[in-house]
Structure 1
Amino acid sequence: MQPAKKAGRQPGLKIGVLYGGRSGEHDVSLCSAASVVAALDQSKYEIVAIGIDRDGRWYVQDRPEMVADRNFGKILSLKRRGLWLVNHFEDQNKLHLYNLKSKGEKVVVDVVFPVLHGTYGEDGTLQGLLELAMVPYVGVDVAGSAVGMDKDIAKRLLKEAGIPVVPWITLGRQDWQKQPKKILQRAQKELGLPVFVKPLCTGSSVGIKKVKVKEDLA
């Protein structure tokens, strides 16, 4: 008898790992995407790396490629190749991507794994796009993403639900431009020092500053 042949990889879901993006957390996303690709079982899934550059253009990569990075150790490479058109109408519940500079080059994705950080990725905008396109995706839905990204809304909802939150003040750009002195006085009175100043809708500790003296609040 001949020994049984080992079965090759069976056709499985094609997962589009979406990373990069327009936010200030672009580089963090490249690092996270490398971790996701490394963790996915490539004997079960076919992985398609789809990078979005800082201008919002989508690029399907030839293959997921890890490269060394002095800040993050390893990141997922993002190469600007081709001119890609994103389409979902051809086949319901699948994402189609066409390279307009390479006739006949098409990639079809069964499910999207978003690994974008910050605005245009974690704030519900991408989730809304995929919902409209009826493309399955991994992670939190539109409402959960939007609420979780906005620190002021998240704190208000947590407080309303009886969950303890630290005191905070939310300031708009126009408020600061109109009456900065009054705002500084309010912050010192209601919060004291030290305080943490942070952007309303970013993550990854981007833009956060610990202020110990009142002069640094300005």
Structure 2
Amino acid sequence: MGSKVRVGLVYGGKSGEHEVSLQTAFAVMGEFDYSKYEIKPFYITKLGEWKSGGILHARPASVEELRYEASGAEPTGFALAPLFEGMNGGSAASSESGIDVIFPLLHGTFGEDGTIQGLFEMANIPYVGAGVLASAVGMDKIMMKKVFAQEGLPQCIFRYFNRTQWEKDSSFFIMECEVALGYPCFIKPANLGSSVGVSKARNREELVAAINFAFRFDRKVIVEEFVDAREIEVSVLGNDDAKASIPGEIAPSNEFYDYKAKYIDGTSTMQIPAILSPEITESVREMAVRAFQSIDGSGLSRVDFFLRKSDNQIFINEVNTLPGFTPFSMYPLLWRETGIPYKELLDTLINLALARHAEKQRIDFTGSVN
């Protein structure tokens, strides 16, 4: 590793959250300390092609400049060369074109679900954030809820099914949702984030339409009961010794915190810190770390809760293993108000990635007992 740490920023991707990823990358590039880091951009197109640009010494002028789709951009094979060096037994940082640590800024499928983390593991290269298992569980809302149930974390009532089951007996699942959940209820693709494909149904007709809409984005769908609640979020930072930020609260500009409210209109309000009793504050922070540890999280996560208005009952909603870093993002804002500014947060995440990688080098993968 040279005098500067060379960070490979990976963004874009084959995902419905492609544009969100570009916004996150643009924001992060503007916050790195370029006296300490060299930034190497890796852009993945919507078709899955890898493109990379030259070393950055400052953030590009616009989001559009991050696409690197011009003919002069490095093609997929060249862009992936540092990773293939690691796969061949070398070090991804050993060559002039190599990198010291990867910072994936890919939201949604093929980026936040453990798939690209598996590539980094095969390349034996340090990377920021959750590993394969935690990423996969954190992306799949059904598996996540099963893990939370095992951990004893309170949750809203939910039902789930896949496309084959729905097409075989939709009337059964409609009845089950109506009896167990009632109306209104929320319908979500099991594997997606940023509220893409999420709908609120108030009757049977809307329920069926919402389920069919959610199946556009995944083969599994989850339906959750409606809870009249405040939306509380906590940021988690660390590896085995993770810690929680102060909690914040989201007041959505729309009926619920959907894609538009998160990334387009920017009019949803954030209350940081959330106005909570000391007891509830301590509970959500403790539960956030438990949830993080239950999926074997590392690096960072944002943990979202519902606080039911009628009785202040806390329900865990989900863990987001790769929360956004856009100007509207809760994750860095919570840490800023907890005492860790943006640049320091980026430093910490890089150091956590390097520490986690060093820890994994202690594992004997050969199986030798000698």
For this structure pair, what is the TM-score category when the shorter chain's length is used for normalisation? 0.7 to 0.9
Flag the 1:14–1:158 CA change in 2: closer, same or farther, 3 A: same
* CA displacement 1:82-106 (0-9 Å, x = unmatched): 4231222467331689xxxxxxxx7
Deviation at 1:76, TM superposition (A): 6.1
1:70 is matched with which residue? none
Which structure carries more helix by proportion? 2
Report which of the two structures shows the higher radius of gyration computed on alpha carbons. Answer: 1
* CA displacement 1:131-186 (0-9 Å, x = unmatched): 01101111111111111111001101111111001111111000111111111111
CA distance in 2, matches of 1:28, 1:193: 31
Q: 37, 41, 46: which one pairs with 1:54?
A: 46
Q: 79, 85, 89: which one pairs with 1:88?
A: 85
1:77 aligns with 2:74: no
Q: 31, 45, 51: which one pairs with 1:39?
A: 31
Given that 1:111 and 1:135 are in contact with CA atoms closer than 8 Å, whether structure 2 keeps it comes out as yes
Q: 146, 149, 171: which one pairs with 2:136?
A: 146
2:303 is matched with which residue? none
Q: TM-score, normalised by structure 1?
A: 0.83
Q: Runs of 4+ in structure 1 displaced over 4 angstroms?
A: none
Cα-Cα RMSD: 2.0
CA distance in 2, matches of 1:136, 1:37: 19
Q: 19, 33, 36: which one pairs with 1:27?
A: 19
1:155-194 alignment, distance < 5 Å: 155-194=145-184
Given that 1:32 and 1:75 are in contact with CA atoms closer than 8 Å, whether structure 2 keeps it comes out as no
CA distance in 1, matches of 2:187, 2:33: 40
> Which consecutive residues of structure 1, in runs of 5 or more, have no partner in the other structure?
1-9, 68-73, 98-105
Given that 1:33 and 1:76 are in contact with CA atoms closer than 8 Å, whether structure 2 keeps it comes out as no
CA distance in 2, matches of 1:25, 1:153: 21
Q: 106, 119, 141: which one pairs with 2:109?
A: 119
* Letter of the 1:34 counterpart: F
CA distance in 2, matches of 1:82, 1:60: 5
Given that 1:31 and 1:76 are in contact with CA atoms closer than 8 Å, whether structure 2 keeps it comes out as no
Deviation at 1:41, TM superposition (A): 1.1
Percent sequence identity is 37
1:65 is matched with which residue? 60
Q: How many residues align?
A: 195
CA distance in 1, matches of 2:16, 2:74: 24
Given that 2:52 and 2:75 are in contact with CA atoms closer than 8 Å, whether structure 1 keeps it comes out as no
CA distance in 2, matches of 1:117, 1:83: 22
CA distance in 2, matches of 1:192, 1:78: 45
2:127 is matched with which residue? 137
Q: TM-score, normalised by structure 2?
A: 0.50
Deviation at 1:11, TM superposition (A): 2.9
